[in-house]
Amino acid sequence: MNIFREITSEGTLFKDERVFRPDYVPAELLFREKHISEIARSVRPAAHGKQPQNLLLYGPSGTGKTSCARFVLRELSEYSQRAQPIYLNCWEYSSRHMVLHALLEGIGMMAPKRGLSSNEIMEKVVGGLRQSGKIPILVLDEVDRLFAASSEEQKVLYDLGRMPEIHGLQIGLVGITNNRDVLVRADARTKSSLMQGEIEFSKYSPQELKGILSERAKLGYCDGALEKEVVPLCAAISAKNGGDARVALALLWKAGLEADGKGAKKVLVEHVKAVQEKCIQEAKTLGIRKEEELAEMERRIVKIIAAEGGSIESGELYEQLGAAMGEERAVRLHIAKMVKSGVLEEKETNDKGRKKRILGIRGPK
């Protein structure tokens, strides 16, 4: 037999592996009907030329916040020409300038990435909306990122929230976060732009995870490819690790790859066990971006500075944190947040003409 035919016909237990990829949005989101209809009810006025209600979706990782928001946007774009759904993840669009620029593009207007000030972009957005009569529904996923940097960045929420009042234009804002506290601590004007309505997403129960996995298995695996204990085991492991559907799906997916790799006829419990640690670890690495891990980062930063006698040069701190902290930009934003909240203080010194930034632990006043 041709070597390629052999690989494609016999090499896999998957029917369609794409359904396990992170960007896949299922046609149906189980156990979230109420959440979806609440979001839909809030944004629906946009389809009829009216002001939507702004919303905050919050809850732990892997509870379906992003999927539900994307699902509603997809339905909305089929239902209405008037509403203009726009999805942004604030990890990618982390400044006021970037958010406004993406909004401008989202309403179909082109603008150079550089050269225009945020205020000028805002003017163009206003002009564009007046002309088109469209009402954007702007989903800002991981919106707490806008609070990690300077207060300038979060001002975008205030700018957008006031559009109806100042310009007589409608816009719907949907913020998504794991960390509702960041918004609760925000100033009243920012808060009022985003927290007109709130929807909580709670962890999935083992039973719910089992349901989600069974549905996905039907789409992704050939009939009879899974030993019957596999789905309950994946559900039980992920229920213990935060009730996170992302972990559950990763287990189910990676176990299949493991089985394929071993040339097995079925996905077995042993395949799940073989990938368990790695899947949980990966979810944690992703979660480095999330609040618990951020708190962990703060502890680590404070520990390093304390070991240096209470202050350290910024470059040296980055070096000591090393790869463990991931992207340097994220570290910088995080340190800026700690300086702002008063945990650290920052001084500039001049060492033979070379400027140095010294970070210190702030002592009691």
Ligand X SMILES: Nc1ncnc2c1ncn2[C@@H]1O[C@H](COP(=O)(O)OP(=O)(O)OP(=O)(O)O)[C@@H](O)[C@H]1O
Using the rule CB under 6 A, is 238 a contact of ligand X?
Answer: no
Question: Which residues from 168-197 bind Mg ion, rule CB under 5 A?
Answer: none
Residue 320 CA to residue 98 CA, distance in Å, equals 31
Q: Which is nearer to Mg ion, 66 or 241 (CB)?
A: 66
Q: Which is nearer to Mg ion, 66 or 193 (CB)?
A: 66
Using the rule CB under 6 A, is 124 a contact of ligand X?
Answer: no
Using the rule CB under 5 A, is 67 a contact of Mg ion?
Answer: no
Q: Which is nearer to Mg ion, 65 or 337 (CB)?
A: 65
Task: Tell which one of 54, 61, 84, 94 touches ligand X (CB under 6 A).
Answer: 61
Q: Check: CB of residue 98 under 8 Å from CB of residue 151.
A: no
- Shortest CB 38 distance to ligand X, Å: 14
- Shortest CB 363 distance to ligand X, Å: 36
Using the rule CB under 6 A, is 31 a contact of ligand X?
Answer: yes
Task: Tell which one of 26, 197, 326, 360 touches ligand X (CB under 6 A).
Answer: 26
Question: Which residues from 176-215 bind ligand X, rule CB under 6 A?
Answer: 178, 201, 212
Q: Which range in 123-131, 167-175, 243-251, 346-354 contacts ligand X by CB under 6 A?
A: 243-251
Q: Which is nearer to ligand X, 227 or 244 (CB)?
A: 244
Residues that bind ligand X (CB under 6 A): 22, 24, 26, 29-32, 61-67, 178, 201, 212, 245-246, 249
Using CB under 5 A, list all residues that contact Mg ion.
Answer: 66
